[in-house]
Amino acid sequence: MFKPLLLATAAILMAAAAPVLAQSTSMTPEDQVKAMGPGINVAAGWDPYWDGNPSPFKIGYIKSIKDAGFKTIRIPITTFRHMDKAGQHLDPATFRRLDAIVDAGVKEGLNVIIDEHDYDDCGKDANACGALLPNVWYELSEHYKNAPPSVMFELLNEPHEQIDDKLWNAWIPDLVAIVRETNPTRNIIIGATHWNSKNDLPLLKLPEADRHIIVTFHYYDPFHFTHQGASWAGAEVAALKGVEWKGTKEELAQLDADFDQVAAWGKANNRPIFLGEYGTYGKNNPRMDERAAWTRAVSKAADARGFARAFWYFSEGPVGFTAYNTDKDQWVAPIKDALVGQ
Ligand code: BGC
C-alpha cells in the first residue's frame, strides 16, 4: 500500500532540489517531536475494526483529526493475537487494516506512531512476550521500511509487572537492532517501566550511539482523579466517585514539578520527549469542566517544555476517555478545545 504513495512522493521530490529528497529519508528526533505537536490515540487493538467487524472507528476520522488541528496519531496495535501459530508472521488482514490507517495518516500529512500495545500480555508472561515481540518487530520493520519518516515505531506500550527494568533494558538493544536492520534512521519511541512512568526514567538504558530515539512517558496524575470508576485500575479506584481537580495553585505546582522532572531527564540525557498518553475517564466523573481543565493544563505543561503529546483517547463511547462522539459525529467540544485550541 505504501509503494504508490512513496513513488509519487519521490517523483515530486526528484523534480525539486536534491537536499529535499535527502531530508525526506530521515528526520532528527528533535525535529520530529517539534512536528508532532498535539496528537491523539486512535483505533486501539481491541476495536472491532481489527477483526473486520463493524466499528465506530472509520478511516474518514483521520481527516477529521487532521482538520481539527492534530498533527499526530498513535495507533495502539495488539499484534500477538494476529500472529500465525508459529508466532512468526502477522496475518495479512491485520497488515491491510493497519496499512489503511497508516496510509490515511500519511496522506493527511500526520505523524503516525505504530505502538505495540500487548503490554498486558507482556506484563503477565514475559517469556511468551519475549518470544513474540522480536518477531513482531521483524514483521513491522520489514513491512514499513519504505514508509516516510513521519511513521514511527513504539517498541512496547507501558512495560510493567514481569517486564521490570532489568529485563526491559536487556530487550531494548535487541529490539532496536531488529528495527535498524531495515530502518536505519527511523525514529523509535521507547518508554520506561512501571507503565511508562516518569519516575523510572533514571532506570532506562538506551543504546547511547543511536540518535534516532524519542523517549515517552504517560501522565494520569492525580490517578484518583483521572481514573475514578476505572474497573481495570483495582477495586479501590473503581469505587471512587466525586474526586475533584480544581486547578489549584498546589495542583498546578505538582503538575509543573512532575513535568520539570521529565524535562530535566530529557535534557541531561539528550533525548526529546513525547507524552504518549494522558486523559480522564468519565464513568464516575461527569464534571466536564474539571476534565477539560486538567486536559488543558497537561497539554500546556507539555507544550511549554517542548514535549510532543497524544491524548488518550479518540473515542470509546460516551463515558470513556473520549474526545469525539461517534454517535453524534462531533467532537466533545471542551476536550477538543483543551487539546488543540491553545
Ligand atoms: C490502556 C487503556 C486505558 C488507558 C488508561 C492505556 O494504555 O491501553 O486500556 O484505558 O491506558 O488507563
For the chain, give the secondary structure using H, E and C: CHHHHHHHHHHHHHHCCHHHHHHHHCCCHHHHHHHHCEEEECCCCCCHHHHCCCCCCCCCHHHHHHHHCCCEEEEEECCHHHECCCCCCECHHHHHHHHHHHHHHHHCCCEEEEEECCHHHHHHCHHHHHHHHHHHHHHHHHHCCCCCCCEEEECCCCCCCCCCHHHHHHHHHHHHHHHHHHCCCCCEEEECHHHHCHHHHHHCCCCCCCCCEEEEEECCCCHHHHCCCCHHHCHHHHCCCCCCCCCCHHHHHHHHHHHHHHHHHHHHHCCCEEEEECCCCCCCCCCHHHHHHHHHHHHHHHHHCCCEEEECCCCCCCCCCCCEECCCCEECHHHHHHHHCC
Report CA(15)–ligand 1 centroid distance (Å).
45
What pTM did the predictor assign?
0.93
Q: Which atom of ligand 1 is nearest to the CA of 117?
A: 8
Report the pLDDT value the prediction gives residue 164, as an integer from 0 to 100.
98
- Average pLDDT value for residue range 54-77: 97
Instruction: Report the share of the chain in percent with pLDDT over 90.
Output: 91
Pocket test for ligand 1, best of 227, 313, 316, 322 (most atoms within 8 A of CB): 313
Express each pLDDT in 143-197 by its tens digit: 999 999 999 999 999 999 999 999 999 999 999 999 999 999 999 999 999 999 9
Report CA(121)–ligand 1 centroid distance (Å).
14
Report CA(57)–ligand 1 centroid distance (Å).
17
Query: Which residue type, as a one-letter code, is found at position 154?
Result: E
With bands split at pLDDT 50, 70 and 90, how would you rate the model's confidence at 7? very low
With bands split at pLDDT 50, 70 and 90, how would you rate the model's confidence at 18? very low
Pocket test for ligand 1, best of 113, 121, 232 (most atoms within 8 A of CB): 232
Contacts for 119 with CB less than 8 Å, ≥ 6 apart: 156, 157, 158, 159, 160, 195
Pocket test for ligand 1, best of 277, 316, 319, 322 (most atoms within 8 A of CB): 277
Report CA(194)–ligand 1 centroid distance (Å).
13
With bands split at pLDDT 50, 70 and 90, how would you rate the model's confidence at 303? very high
Q: Whose CA is nearest to atom 2 of ligand 1?
A: 312
Computed over every residue of the chain, the mean pLDDT equals 93
Express each pLDDT in 87-118 by its tens digit: 999 999 999 999 999 999 999 999 999 999 99
Instruction: Ligand 1: list residues with CB < 6 Å.
Output: 157-158, 277, 312
User: Is the pLDDT score of 24 beyond 70?
Assistant: no
Report CA(283)–ligand 1 centroid distance (Å).
14
User: Is the pLDDT score of 17 beyond 50?
Assistant: no
Report CA(6)–ligand 1 centroid distance (Å).
33
Express each pLDDT in 121-146 by its tens digit: 999 999 999 999 999 999 999 999 99
Report CA(232)–ligand 1 centroid distance (Å).
9
User: Is the pLDDT score of 16 beyond 50?
Assistant: no
Q: Which atom of ligand 1 is nearest to the CA of 157?
A: 7
Q: Whose CA is nearest to atom 4 of ligand 1?
A: 312
30 burial level (CB within 10 Å; 0-12, 13-18, 19+): middle
